[in-house]
Amino acid sequence: MRAKTVDRIATAIIICVAGFIMLVLAALLGYLLVRGLKHISFDFLTSAPQAIKVGGGIGPQLFNSLFLLVLTMIITVPLGIGAGIYMSEYAKDNKLTAFIRLIVEVLSSFPSIVIGLFGLLVIVNTFGFGYSLLSGALALTVFNLPMMVRLTEQSLRNVPKEQKEAGLALGLSRWKTISSIMIPVALPSIVTGSILAAGRVFGEAAALLFTAGMSSPRLDFTNWNPLSPTSPLNPMRPAETLAVHIWKINSEGLAPDAPEIAAGASAVLVIMVLLFNLGARWFGRVVYRKLTASK
């Protein structure tokens, strides 16, 4: 009888907490969307911002966010998965490995503004990459890599060791066992990790202020030559992202409709994150099914 009562109370508390969290999330999402959706139009999504006039859009910023995402993931995902595989499957259990693991832990909790400053000093100035998409992508890589490495390492460690042994017992090489037997099993967690990393790219502002910069040069969306300074595809041009743009117009926007633009841009950002999340999960599931023949 007593155990039952305790069980009921615990269940009630857990339901309340879960309900409360759901409520907060729904309220947050609802607020952002209600405030922002009415400003979103095709024109808003495609036109350039206006400095002091009404009616500016967020076209370049939207594009920059997406491009930066792609650029960052191209660098982060292979490096992160590679290092994660190394840490889980190749690294010996010694002091050096423990030290690397510690560094990774510390790095993953670094404040992003510090990473931004590091990016400014090292990537922008010392390497001479200037305020550019590439600098931003590299800074975000520093920011995301630790998480990617840890998640990959963890998801490989969670693959039952009998899977690995079965691969090796068939006379597969170590790499073949990892790449064809273990990675497919670990894939869902690796995809989740990549999604988390990508979400941070969309949302990050502080690490980008001094690396990708706060301005966007006039872009010519008909110019697809990546070497030309006005081409949207040029990775060496400065690029303000959506998150940075929101921060900027909120703090120093001169356009009369700055609050509306910020609201609209926030809603777009949230929708983008949602869409990306769903898309990446769907993609991950398709690949997983293909690799594992599961339903």
Partner 1 sequence: MSAQGLSTNNLSVFYGEKQAVKKVSMDFEERSVTALIGPSGCGKSTFLRSLNRMNDLISGARIEGEVWIGDKNICDPHTDVVRLRQRIGMVWQKPNPFHKSIYENIAFGPRYHGVKGRKQLDEIVETCLRKTALWDEVKDRLSQSGLALSGGQQQRLCIARSLAVQPNILLMDEPASALDPVSTAKIEELISELKKDYTIVIVTHNMQQAARVSDRTAFFFLGDLIEYDDTQKMFTNPSKKSTDDYISGRFG
181 binds partner 1 (CB under 8 A): yes
Residue 84 Cα to chain centre, angstroms: 17
**Cβ 97 to partner 1 shortest distance, Å:** 11
The tokens describing 80, both together, are 């992160």
How far is the C-alpha of 233 from the C-alpha of 213, rounded, in Å?
16
Closer Cβ to partner 1, 150 or 164, answer by number: 164
168 binds partner 1 (CB under 8 A): yes
Q: Looking at 84, 116, 143, 164, which residue binds partner 1 (CB under 8 A)? A: 164
Kind and range of the H or E run holding 124: none
Only segment of 112-120, 132-140, 175-183, 267-275 that touches partner 1 (CB under 8 A): 175-183
Residue 143-162 contact track with partner 1, rule CB under 8 A, x = bound: -----------------xxx
Closer Cβ to partner 1, 38 or 289, answer by number: 289
Short-list 216, 271, 220, 260, CA closest to 241: 216
Amino acid identity of 23?
L
Q: What's the angle, vertex CA 116, arms to CA 113 and CA 122, rounded to 5?
A: 145
Question: Using the 8-state DSSP alphabet, how is residue 165 labeled?
Answer: H
The tokens describing 167, both together, are 């691969």
Residue 72-101 contact track with partner 1, rule CB under 8 A, x = bound: --------------------xx--------
CB atoms within 10 A of CB 203: 16
- Assess contact for 202 and 276: CB atoms under 8 A: yes
Residue 265-294 contact track with partner 1, rule CB under 8 A, x = bound: --------------------------xxxx
Only segment of 98-106, 131-139, 166-174, 230-238 that touches partner 1 (CB under 8 A): 166-174
176 binds partner 1 (CB under 8 A): yes
The tokens describing 77, both together, are 């995902």
The tokens describing 137, both together, are 């992508």
Closer Cβ to partner 1, 1 or 293, answer by number: 293
Angle, helices 183-203/59-85, rounded to nearest 10 degrees:
140
How far is the C-alpha of 270 from the C-alpha of 41, rounded, in Å?
16
CA Rg value for the chain: 23
**Cβ 289 to partner 1 shortest distance, Å:** 9
25 binds partner 1 (CB under 8 A): no
**Cβ 178 to partner 1 shortest distance, Å:** 13
Only segment of 28-36, 47-55, 77-85, 165-173 that touches partner 1 (CB under 8 A): 165-173
39 binds partner 1 (CB under 8 A): no
Binding site for partner 1 (CB under 8 A): 92-93, 160-173, 176, 180-181, 184-185, 291-295
